[in-house]
């Protein structure tokens, strides 16, 4: 079993964490506002390969003199930054986060961990070797209503079925409209991650069909139906489309849990509802929400040494669900998640170019044992 400790940093409201944000795109701008607004953090620089984009973002924040650069480690070395928020495109997550961790900078990264599960495993090992915290901001996990729903599931006894319906019709333009599986790869990870959280269980097998409705404005499959067998015997079914105008669901999706003592429902935007002959104990609430919540948890974890939800090892199985669903959609076959993990592990060992990270990977007893504490 892998041990999980990370370097502690004595930061707090009197001593705000000095942060560089990497990636000044649309989500990067939300992070810039969030890091600026938090009393626990101080924005000390913006990094983007597109320097003009970094400068525009600084000016739009009202801080045209803020240091900008195209390399996070170099900028941090020059201005004493203590941590990195990585909001680059998924392909850049692995190189940017690896460089930061080995420069002694803990990282809070946007989902997904990396563009492939193999590179996500490399990053988990890099966090172990560097001793720095790498937390993924899986922002929808911190929703207080989702926490309440999880409390309701615990009242229902054994859970047989958990479902998500997700139907939206956004027109993003850009890379999402060109990807092979935009819904599964870019969006469904939020729901898959929430399902793991609600059930307290990891996936065992996946079966998935992906398809593209005739009127779709996406090149790849914008719709999918996936069924996961989860440890503990619950089945999780996800049914979604990204080209579904009319009666759109919440961005969180619409949820139903069916258990031996009743059911729980959540429309994704309002308080969940328990329909069962049980008197629930006081429902737990998350004191955090969205990316501001993830940032707060990150800072607290650096201060206390606690291991947060979203730590790279804990988050990796959500990406494994995505890869299992995509593989099933490609092959038309039921896919064992252990096979997906084994293939990713072999690729990670084969492609790793840091000897210390490869040695750490090679020391894992199994991928599941390394990921699940
Ligand atoms: N949590 C959420 O709800 C949510 C929502 C949207 C996007 N995201 C995630 O946020 C990330 C960014 O998405 P986006 O929509 O902002 O993309 P974007 O394309 O708008 O912006 C990405 C930026 O990263 C920069 N970049 C790329 N490679 C870089 C590198 N090596 N170093 C520095 N900068 C680099 C690009 O120049 C670009 O400005 C993605 O991982 C995406 O999945 C999460």
Q: Are residues 262 and 178 in the same domain?
A: yes
- pLDDT over 90 for what percent of the chain? 92
Half-sphere exposure of 358 (CA within 13 A, CB side): 9
pLDDT average, residue stretch 118-135: 98
Residue nearest to atom 1 of ligand 1 (CA): 139
CB atoms within 10 A of CB 238: 25
Q: What is the CA radius of gyration of the chain?
A: 20
323, part of any domain: no
- Write the CATH number for 259: 3.30.360.10
Find out whether the beta carbon of 109 lies less than 6 Å from any atom of ligand 1. Answer: no
Q: Are residues 257 and 300 in the same domain?
A: no
Give distance in angstroms: CA of 21 to centre of ligand 1: 11
Confidence at 3, pLDDT banded by 50, 70, 90: low
97 lines ligand 1 (CB under 6 A): no
Residue 329 lies in a domain: no
Does residue 331 lie within any of the structural domains? no
Cβ count within 10 A of residue 49: 14
What is the distance in A from the centroid of ligand 1 to the CA of 115? Answer: 12
Distance of CA 351 to the CA centre of its chain: 23
Q: Is the pLDDT of residue 160 over 80?
A: yes
| Predicted local confidence at residue 284, as pLDDT | 76
Residue from 20, 21, 22, 23 whose mutation best tests the ligand 1 pocket (most atoms within 8 A of CB): 23
pLDDT of residue 60: 97
At how many degrees (to 10) do helices 117-130 and 312-331 cross? 170
Residue 201 domain flag? yes
Helix residue ranges, H only, the chain: 26-37, 51-60, 72-79, 90-102, 117-130, 144-155, 182, 188-199, 290-304, 312-331, 337-351, 355-362, 367-371
Name the residue at shortest CA distance from atom 25 of ligand 1: 23
Q: Tell me how far the alpha carbon of residue 111 lies from the centroid of ligand 1, in angstroms.
A: 10
206 and 175 in contact (C-beta within 8 Å)? Answer: no
- Mean per-residue pLDDT for 119-125? 98
Sheet with 83-86, side-by-side order of all strands:
68-69, 41-47, 17-22, 83-86, 107-110, 134-137
Separation CA 39–CA 21 (nearest Å) = 16
Mean pLDDT score across all residues of the chain: 95
Protein residue with its CA nearest to atom 33 in ligand 1: 48
Let me know: does 295 contact 279? Beta carbons within 8 Å: no
pLDDT digits (tens, 9 = 90+) for 263-310: 999 999 999 999 998 877 777 777 788 999 999 999 999 999 999 999
Judgement on whether residues 296 and 260 belong to the same structural domain of the protein:
no
Q: Which residues of 273-282 are buried (b: 16+ CB within 10 A; e: fewer)?
A: ebebeeeeee
Q: Are residues 266 and 356 in the same domain?
A: no
Q: What is the pLDDT of residues 315-340, one digit of tens each?
A: 999 999 999 999 999 999 999 999 99
Task: Kindly state whether residues 57 and 78 are assigned to the same domain.
Answer: yes
Domains contained in the chain, number: 2
The answer on 100 and 124 residing in a single domain is yes
Helix, strand or coil for residue 160?
strand
Q: Which domain holds residue 119?
A: 17-140+290-312+338-371
Same-domain pairing of 148 and 97 = no
Q: Could you tell me which residues are beta bridge partners of residue 228?
A: 206, 236
Mapping DSSP to helix (H, G, I), strand (E, B) and coil, where does residue 201 land?
coil
Summarize pLDDT for 179-194 with one digit per residue, the tens: 999 999 999 999 999 9
Task: Confirm whether 302 is domain-assigned.
Answer: yes
Average pLDDT over residues 68-91: 96
Residue 234 pLDDT > 70? yes
Tell me, what's the pLDDT at 373?
72
Q: Do 133 and 118 reside in the same domain of the chain?
A: yes
* CA–CA distance, 122 with 362 (Å, rounded to integer): 11
Q: Note whether residue 347 is domain-resident.
A: yes
Domain at 96, CATH number: 3.40.50.720
Whether ligand 1 lies within 6 angstroms of the CB of 23 is answered as yes
Residue 1 has pLDDT above 80, yes or no: no
- The residues, any chain, with a CB within 8 Å of residue 81's CB and separated by 6 or more, are 18, 19, 20, 44, 45, 75, 105
**How many angstroms separate the CA atoms of 42 and 39, rounded?**
8
Cβ proximity of 132 and 158 under 8 Å: no
Checking if the pLDDT of 43 tops 60, the result is yes
| 354 plus 271 within the same structural domain | no
C-beta separation of 75 from 45 below 8 A: yes
- Domain presence at residue 10: no
DSSP 327-367: HHHHHSS-EEHHHHHHHHHHHHHHH---HHHHHHHHT-S-H
Q: In terms of domains, do 150 and 61 share one?
A: no
Residues 54 and 166 in one domain: no
Residues 205 and 246 grouped into a single domain: yes
- Please give the C-alpha separations between residue 23 and each of 76, 114, 343, in angstroms, as whole numbers: 14, 15, 30
3 domain residue, yes or no:
no
Q: What is the mean pLDDT of residues 47-55?
A: 98
């Amino acid at each position: 079993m892998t041990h999980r400790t990370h370097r502690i940093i004595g930061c707090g409201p009197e001593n705000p964490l000095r942060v560089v944000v990497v990636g000044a795109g649309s989500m990067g701008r939300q992070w810039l506002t969030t890091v600026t607004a938090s009393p626990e953090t101080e924005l000390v620089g913006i990094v983007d390969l597109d320097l003009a984009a970094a400068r525009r973002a600084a000016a739009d924040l009202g801080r045209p003199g803020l240091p900008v650069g195209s390399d996070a480690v170099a900028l941090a070395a020059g201005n004493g930054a203590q941590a990195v928020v990585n909001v680059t495109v998924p392909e850049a997550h692995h190189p940017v986060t690896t460089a930061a961790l080995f420069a002694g900078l803990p990282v809070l990264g946007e989902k997904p961990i990396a563009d492939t599960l193999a590179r996500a495993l490399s990053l988990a090992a890099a966090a172990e070797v560097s001793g720095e915290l790498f937390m993924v901001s899986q922002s929808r996990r911190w929703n207080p209503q989702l926490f309440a729903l999880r409390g309701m599931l615990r009242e229902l006894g054994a859970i047989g079925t958990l479902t998500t319906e997700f139907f939206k019709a956004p027109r993003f333009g850009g890379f999402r409209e060109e990807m092979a599986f935009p819904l599964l790869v870019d969006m469904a990870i939020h729901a898959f991650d929430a399902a793991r959280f609600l059930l307290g269980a990891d996936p065992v097998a996946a079966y998935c069909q992906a398809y593209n409705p005739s009127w779709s404005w996406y090149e790849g499959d914008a719709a999918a139906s996936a069924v996961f067998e989860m440890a503990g015997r619950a089945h999780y079914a996800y049914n979604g489309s990204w080209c579904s105008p009319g009666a759109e669901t919440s961005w969180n999706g619409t949820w139903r849990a069916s258990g031996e003592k009743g059911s729980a429902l959540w429309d994704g935007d309002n308080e969940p509802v328990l329909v069962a002959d049980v008197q629930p104990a006081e429902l737990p609430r998350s004191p955090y929400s969205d990316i501001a919540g993830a940032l707060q948890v990150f800072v607290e974890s650096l201060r206390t040494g606690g291991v947060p939800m979203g730590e790279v090892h804990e988050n990796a199985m959500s990406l494994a669900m995505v890869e299992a669903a995509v593989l099933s959609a490609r092959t038309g076959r039921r896919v064992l998640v252990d096979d997906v993990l084994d293939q990713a592990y072999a690729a990670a060992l084969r492609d790793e170019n840091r000897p210390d990270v490869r040695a750490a990977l090679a020391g894992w007893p199994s991928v599941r044992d390394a990921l699940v504490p």
